[in-house]
Amino acid sequence: MPATQPSASPTQQADGLVIAVDGPAASGKGTLARRLAAHYGLPYLDTGLLYRMVARTMLDAGKALDDAQAATASAAGFDDAAIDESRLRGREIGEAASVVAAIPAVRRALIDRQRRFAAAGEGAVLDGRDIGTVICPEATVKLFVTATPEVRAARRHKELAGRGEAATLDGILADIRRRDARDSGRGDAPLKAAEDAVQLDTSALGVEEAFQAALAIVEDRRRG
């Protein structure tokens, strides 16, 4: 499983805390989810990697991304240990993942492993598109992380450049808009905030400021 195990010295007791973090591409949800998991000493699951893994398997096998049968077999069949994040972070795979993620049978095939992860221990942090709405509707806290498309494109552009992947800012912005439309427009588990999610716009926040804002939301919810 592409999960991070609890940090050795969490700064807070977790007490069965389940944190659902959803939002569009490059909004900063993974960065926040990872920090929250370390803070509370909780395991973390980046569910986007599961869809990226299905896409990678399809591309490696030369299959068309809209081949629902092959994509569903990939989703049901891959071994968690085979997930190699370094092969899944590229621009092409993000786009391909959003195509296979629109296939309902692919989503169904991935539900159980995500729910098992959330229920396995004394709490968990998961990030994705449908954690608060479908995977963990009973999560203690739901965050819906946003930022403007321009800010998200700039962040992703910098990230990809750091990985040595050349791309124009305009090209990345177009990718992000296309992916937003596909993820929000699909019939099954579209990207949207759960009714009880708290929205966090990180457009004007640095990493540390966004983390402090998220922490305040979580603590507020925990206090009830």
Ligand X SMILES: Nc1ncnc2c1ncn2[C@@H]1O[C@H](COP(=O)(O)OP(=O)(O)O)[C@@H](O)[C@H]1O
Binding residue ranges for ATP? 23-31
Pairing of strands 141-146, 3-4: unpaired
- Candidates 206, 212, 216, 220; binder of ligand X (CB under 6 A) is 206
Pick from 55, 113, 64: which is nearest to 89 by CA? Answer: 55
Partnered with residue 200 across adjacent β-strands are 145
Are 146 and 199 a contacting pair, CB within 8 Å?
A: yes
Secondary structure letter of residue 80 according to DSSP: G
Q: Are the beta carbons of 141 and 198 closer than 8 angstroms?
A: yes
Binding footprint of ligand X, residue count (CB under 6 A):
16
Answer yes or no whether residue 43 interacts with ligand X by CB under 6 A.
no
> Based on CB atoms, which residue is closest to ligand CDP, 9 or 86?
86
Rule CB under 6 A: is residue 98 a binding residue for ligand X? no
Residue identified by tokens 């990493």 is 207
Which residue's CB is nearer to ligand X, number 59 or number 154? 154
* Among ligand CDP, ligand X, none, residue 123 binds (CB under 5-8 Å by kind): none
Binding segment toward ligand X, per CB under 6 A, in 117-125, 171-179, 181-189, 198-206: 198-206
User: Minimum CB separation from ligand X for residue 15, in Å?
Assistant: 26
- Which of the stretches 25-33, 51-59, 70-78, 188-196 binds ligand X when contact is defined by CB under 6 A? 25-33
- End-to-end Cα separation, the chain, in angstroms: 32
Question: What's the token pair of residue 94?
Answer: 């993000």
Question: Quick check: 155 binds ligand X (CB under 6 A)?
Answer: yes
